[in-house]
Amino acid sequence: MAKKKHKTPANVIAQNKRASFDYTLLETFEAGVSLSGWEVKSLRAGKADLADSYVFMQNGEAFLLNAHITPLNSASTHFVTEPTRTRKLLLNKKELAKILAATTAKGQTCVCTSLYWKDHLVKAKIALAVGKKAHDKRDTQKEKDWNRTKQRIIRDNVKQ
């Protein structure tokens, strides 16, 4: 029997799976992303990486840092492409205030967990997060392994 591949939904451009491993995700927000034309073309081709990306607040606005969008072709000379430039996130005032309060007072951080299409717009899913300790990561891995084993046992017993 062939292994089933986990498919991401068609509208997901890139995911940051490392974020859920390194952090405990508390509250999520949907934010618009301010992009250039070449970035949108690259995202349509699926050339994005969120591995080390995070969100920081400056002057009451949210910005996405270290999100790497690879240009389609470097031969084009009529514009300058900067793959890891700072991109502005579009949120309403209440969400910005909530993120700012959590990141300054409570010692939380804000990370980008995924980029996806919503109609013709690019949206970022960002989350308030608290860093995990090494023992928390081990506990999470043990729990995932146990759930996988439990599902396997249930599946094998139901077939008989």
Q: State pTM to two decimals.
A: 0.75
Query: Rg (Cα) of the chain, in Å, rounded?
Result: 19
- Give pLDDT tens digits for 75-133: 555 677 788 889 999 999 999 999 998 888 777 899 999 999 998 899 999 999 988 87
What's the rounded Cα separation, in Å, for the pair 123 and 149?
Answer: 35
Residue-range domains of the chain with CATH: 12-132 (2.40.280.10)
From 112, 105, 136, select the one nearest 56 (Cα to Cα). 112
